Structure 1
Amino acid sequence: MQTLDWIVLISTLLLIVAYGTYQSRGSKNVKDYLKGGSTSKWWTIGLSVMATQASAITFLSTPGQAFNDGMGFVQFYFGLPIAMVVICMVFIPLYHRLKVYTAYEFLENRFDLKTRTLTAILFLIQRGLAAGITIFAPAIILSAVLGWNLLLLNIIIGILVIIYTVSGGTKAVNVTQKHQMIVIFTGMLIAFFLIIDKLPEGITFSKALDIAGASGKMEVLDFSFSLDNRYTFWSGIIGGTFLMLSYFGTDQSQVQRYLSGKSLKEMQIGMMFNGLLKVPMQFFILLVGVMVFVFYQFNPSPANFNPTATEVVLNSEYADDYKRIQQLQEEVFDVKKTTIENYTSEAHSESLKNSIAQLNTANDELREQARVLIEKAGEAQNLKVESNDKDYVFIHFILNNLPRGLIGLLLAVILSAAMSSTSSELNALASTTTMDLYKRNTSEKSETEMVSASRWFTLAWGIIAIGVACVANLAENLIQLVNIIGSIFYGNVLGIFLLGFFFKFVKANAVFTAALITQAVVISLFLLNEYEYINLPFLWLNFVGCLIVIVIAILLQTLSTDKDYAEA
């Protein structure tokens, strides 16, 4: 990185922090601090909701996901518009009418305190872990690529977020997220057009799409019912709808965004705005990844995009084997480049298209061999090395191909995304701890004491998130890791809320018992899938968990003659 990149990066981040702290100063009561004074307009709500979900993981992992697997990941979001309609019709009017500070207040009104407390605790567990991952994700990748100290990066990102979130609460989060989304959209658009500009002369955007299609990267829809395919139309529509209902309807990090709305109408329009824009946004980010793939059809790419992993294997006994793979990859690249050039100039010959597919398969096999060697080298040196390089693809392209100044802007995009999602999570964790646990289980407190407690809880959760970030570990793909954590808990929580909304005869003890059983079952199903005893992709856990808790609660309520179940 050059001096100009550092200036752009540091000034962008500091301006966002300073602006958020300044604009949200003076929160004197709980309503101001936790609900932003209920003054947010629909566009603020919509952008804040999007910024909360669009963490740094989105902008690091999603292009890499598309680079490796194509556009199919967009199916994951197909359930989102459906979920937005249901939330606007059912969840938001109820929350607005009850004037709740957290989603879990409704559960005490409908069931009892222990059900509210259990659900709040489930949220705190999964969102506390997720907050650490949203800090850890950009930190570990930037540290590997730029050589920055990982521990220091975790702490810096965490402290920047803590400063304005502790200072201004919900209003600070909403104010900063608007500007963070502007930075993010601007940076991604610039990156997209620069990628197109860097393609060889004569390779138009249309031809780039043809090349991607010939390479199998433009297959958006998969209507198969196979559970071997993680992302299909059906998993997106069914599992995705349940995940999105849980996330946007019951997760306090999202609920708090629209509870700050000026009116019921502003909340609903803000959520529909998110529903209409989110899928195209994810499609665009995936398309950026596909264009990076096309770029590397004309430009050499490393056998592994993680520079730390490459360094480890080149300093091991497997160095010669790895260099041999690199040489073979260069040979495949030369043949593939010539084949693609012929394909784009010869009216899309079917035989050339098949050749491209075969050459891509050969390249993938070489990359897999490189990954295996990296793992062996790490084991031999007793080092934990991330061999899966999906999360490093986009940042590698940025650092090696963008002009000075824009590198700083794109790094600011990644760190802004990390800060925006983490600030929402800390804000929601503090609100839930304050309102659902602290206030509900202590004597009456003054407004000043409650605001002070909220600030302290925000600081505490910030420190916990930094701690999780410092001990976290990479999964196969970071964006999947966050969704896996959510899917383990979300189905159960959504089922509890649906029981409260639509099954009036089910009482508190039946729901509480069913929730405990369901959480144990879902965790068991996840572990059985991880150890390959069953085949149940994580996205289906949302549907299964929701269904199980509803069925068990209804059975307990219907079949039990216990007085506690009948009257609770």
Structure 2
Amino acid sequence: MTQSIAWIDWLVIVAYCVGLLAMAYWLSRRQHSREDYYVAGRNVGPWPVGLSIMATQCSTNSILGAPAFVAFTAGGGLLWLQYELAVPLAMIVLILFVMPLFRHLKLVSVYAYLEQRFDLPSRLTLSGLFLFVRAFATAVTVYSIALVIDLITGLGFTASVLLLGAFTVLYDVLGGIRGVIYSDVIQLLILTAMLLVVLIFLVEASGGFGEMWQAFSSERKSTLDFAHHGFGDGQTFAFWPMLFGGLFLYVSYYGCDQSQVQRQLSTRNIDATNNALLINGVLRFPLVFLYCLVGVGIAVFAARHPEFIAALPDSGDGPEYNLSVPLYMIHALPVGLVGLSLVALFAAAMSSLDSVLNSLSATTMEDYVRRFHRGSWSARRELVLSRLITALWGGVTLIMAFFVGDIAPTVLEAINKIGSLANGPILAVFALGFIAKDVCGRHVIVGLLGGIAVNGGCWLFLPDVSWLWWNVIGFLVTAVLALLLSFVWQCTDDGTSRRALDRRENVDGEFIDGARLNRDLYERAIQSHLRREARFDWYRRSLWLLVWFGALLALLMIISS
């Protein structure tokens, strides 16, 4: 598949890399503290944050995997679109119930909330789980994308890792979260533009959009599957598991995962945070729909050109369909646009890597280094240390990328399953903190482990149960187990329960009553918002998202009819 890349295309790639580095250096001059580095001084507007959230989700695995799912995967097709119905609903939950509390606490690490609500072991358990899973997944992502770069350019695996990873680490170290956000916006625009270009070329090759749509398999045009439930029928991508499993997954990911919450904490105020969530909830579907249409075009093109499939590398189980989009790009696009298409692939990978590295650094700094350091540091020293930790995590993930080769193919296939093992239990821990007054740290840790264990049992012994249901199953098991333990395993008056009337110090140095932590802070967050703007705005945004959900459901019904 290796293609000789023209010098103009290399010039485009070099210009893009140099431009991002220059922007990161310029932004680094505005950083004076760790809060500038990790949450951009809490002064970013809603549009950059909303688009950055979208860009992180639109990874290279999505750009390569989703069109392949639509075009070639057995049982695939446009069914993937029903997964996106859960996004607007998840944004409603975050706007109304989650972000008001987190914003009021002025967190940098979302896991700091767990220490205030439960205890230190709860904070360290969830933080450590995040560090392990994200670092490993990032190493696998670097490995997989380096393979793609190597296949396209012939640079070799080591050079491909350094080209992608080392460059991303460098501008991440310099730019901090502000650099991550603004580079994500640039990368999303480039990626969207190139997907549109590829779709235009595919439409022209098919003789028009109508011709392309008619030539697409009727079985793959189905966007909704109400006939199956995913509980033992072997149908992973039925409507109900994708809606409810997706809802729990997205609330957990956007509301309890440091890589996403950190960005939402960087906005000016709660209004800007909610607007960013609204932007993501509305614009994410059109982007996913775009690369699914690219999958439609690829399917039609491959059916009419059998040599196209023959040109794909052999994965051992047949052609590597995930490389169909880059293969089409380098052979169908003219010189110059090939360079931009490679930049688009780099951008999709970088938008995932940069945010993860910054969040790994923030979690390490806040939950371990600053938490256990006795004494005080200057703001400048904390900033330098934050950058060093980012560089350290970058080096760790790049080194790990050279050692995941034997297991990467399996992990890539199961990466969504791995996330679903823990997403539901993690969400349950935070939800119990919000609403269950008598549950303490030891209860949620046991519940968390129990939820993950039950999901692991589903993976091993119940393969016909859709892995999307694990997000719901893990949530329920964790919540029920923790609540039952709260009746038989009483917490002591050591600050581990809201029943214990201790006094905790919050992030601003104020003392608050641990027994009323969540109720009081949430009410204060609401009252603070009421003084600035009518509370109706929260519900207005939620209503727009609910209307959008209905419109998307109607659209999918029309496509399937």
TM bucket by the smaller chain? 0.7 to 0.9
**Residues 1:75 and 2:82 aligned together:** yes
Q: Find the counterpart in structure 2 of residue 236 from structure 1.
A: 242
Q: Is the 8 A contact 1:56 1:138 kept in 2?
A: yes
Give the counterpart letter for 1:241 in structure 2.
L
Match 1:490 to one of 414, 420, 423: 423
SS of the equivalent of 2:401 reads helix
- 1:232-280 deviations in whole A, cap 9, x for unaligned? 2111111101110111001111111111101111110011110111122
Q: Find the counterpart in structure 2 of residue 343 from structure 1.
A: none
Distance 1:268 1:188 in 2: 28
Moved more, 31-40 or 437-446: 437-446
TM-score by length of 1: 0.81
How many equivalent residue pairs? 485
**Alpha-carbon offset, residue 147 of structure 1:** 2.3
Distance 1:231 1:146 in 2: 35
Distance 1:296 1:525 in 2: 36
Q: Find the counterpart in structure 2 of residue 260 from structure 1.
A: 266
Q: Is the 8 A contact 1:58 1:479 kept in 2?
A: no
User: Where does 1:149-548 land on structure 2 (aligned, <5 Å)?
Assistant: 149-199=156-206, 203-214=207-218, 216-223=219-226, 224-226=228-230, 227-304=233-310, 306-307=312-313, 309=314, 374=316, 387=318, 389-446=320-377, 447-473=379-405, 481-526=414-459, 528-529=460-461, 534-548=463-477
**Alpha-carbon offset, residue 472 of structure 1:** 2.5
Q: Is the 8 A contact 1:21 1:163 kept in 2?
A: no
| Runs of at least 5 residues in structure 2 that lack an aligned partner in the other structure | 501-561
Task: Classify 1:464/1:525 alpha carbon distance in 2 versus 1 (closer, same or farther; 3 Å).
Answer: farther
Q: Find the counterpart in structure 1 of residue 153 from structure 2.
A: 146
Distance 1:303 1:409 in 2: 24
**Residues 1:44 and 2:48 aligned together:** yes
**Alpha-carbon offset, residue 547 of structure 1:** 1.1
Q: Is the 8 A contact 1:80 1:241 kept in 2?
A: yes
Q: Is the 8 A contact 2:450 2:477 kept in 1?
A: no
Distance 1:210 1:25 in 2: 55
Distance 2:491 2:410 in 1: 47
| Runs of at least 5 residues in structure 1 that lack an aligned partner in the other structure | 310-370, 376-386
SS of the equivalent of 2:216 reads helix
Distance 1:158 1:113 in 2: 34
**Alpha-carbon offset, residue 537 of structure 1:** 2.7
- 1:471-523 deviations in whole A, cap 9, x for unaligned? 22476698754322321221111110011112122122211222233333333
Give the counterpart letter for 2:390 in structure 1.
T
**Alpha-carbon offset, residue 124 of structure 1:** 0.9
Distance 1:103 1:266 in 2: 18
Give the counterpart letter for 2:52 in structure 1.
S
Moved more, 437-446 or 107-116: 437-446
- 1:282-332 deviations in whole A, cap 9, x for unaligned? 12111111111112232233455533x3xxxxxxxxxxxxxxxxxxxxxxx
The share of aligned pairs that are identical, in percent, is: 30
Distance 1:294 1:424 in 2: 35
Distance 2:306 2:288 in 1: 27
SS of the equivalent of 2:376 reads coil
**Alpha-carbon offset, residue 143 of structure 1:** 1.4
Distance 2:414 2:490 in 1: 42
Distance 1:287 1:444 in 2: 56
Task: Classify 1:54/1:170 alpha carbon distance in 2 versus 1 (closer, same or farther; 3 Å).
Answer: same
Q: Is the 8 A contact 2:49 2:276 kept in 1?
A: yes
**Residues 1:551 and 2:477 aligned together:** no
Give the counterpart letter for 1:50 in structure 2.
M
- 1:442-485 deviations in whole A, cap 9, x for unaligned? 21332223222211211111112112322224766987543223
Q: Is the 8 A contact 1:198 1:295 kept in 2?
A: yes
- 1:22-55 deviations in whole A, cap 9, x for unaligned? 2333411121111011111111011111111111
Q: Is the 8 A contact 1:261 1:267 kept in 2?
A: yes
- 1:133-171 deviations in whole A, cap 9, x for unaligned? 332222112212432211221122111111111112111
TM-score by length of 2: 0.82
- 1:360-409 deviations in whole A, cap 9, x for unaligned? xxxxxxxxxxx7xx45xxxxxxxxxxx45121111111122111111111
Distance 2:148 2:389 in 1: 29
Distance 2:183 2:260 in 1: 15
Q: Find the counterpart in structure 1 of residue 544 from structure 2.
A: none
Distance 2:394 2:85 in 1: 32
Give the counterpart letter for 1:127 in structure 2.
R
SS of the equivalent of 1:40 reads coil
Distance 2:166 2:172 in 1: 10
Give the counterpart letter for 1:265 in structure 2.
D
Give the counterpart letter for 1:256 in structure 2.
Q
Give the counterpart letter for 2:400 in structure 1.
V
Q: Find the counterpart in structure 2 of residue 59 from structure 1.
A: 63
Q: Is the 8 A contact 2:302 2:308 kept in 1?
A: no
Q: Is the 8 A contact 2:192 2:287 kept in 1?
A: no
Q: Find the counterpart in structure 2 of residue 29 from structure 1.
A: 33
Q: Is the 8 A contact 2:235 2:464 kept in 1?
A: no
- 1:326-346 deviations in whole A, cap 9, x for unaligned? xxxxxxxxxxxxxxxxxxxxx
Distance 2:281 2:40 in 1: 23
Give the counterpart letter for 1:5 in structure 2.
D
Q: Is the 8 A contact 2:140 2:408 kept in 1?
A: no
Distance 1:563 1:436 in 2: 24
Give the counterpart letter for 1:438 in structure 2.
V
Q: Is the 8 A contact 1:522 1:545 kept in 2?
A: yes
SS of the equivalent of 2:306 reads coil
Q: Is the 8 A contact 2:234 2:463 kept in 1?
A: no
Task: Classify 1:24/1:187 alpha carbon distance in 2 versus 1 (closer, same or farther; 3 Å).
Answer: farther
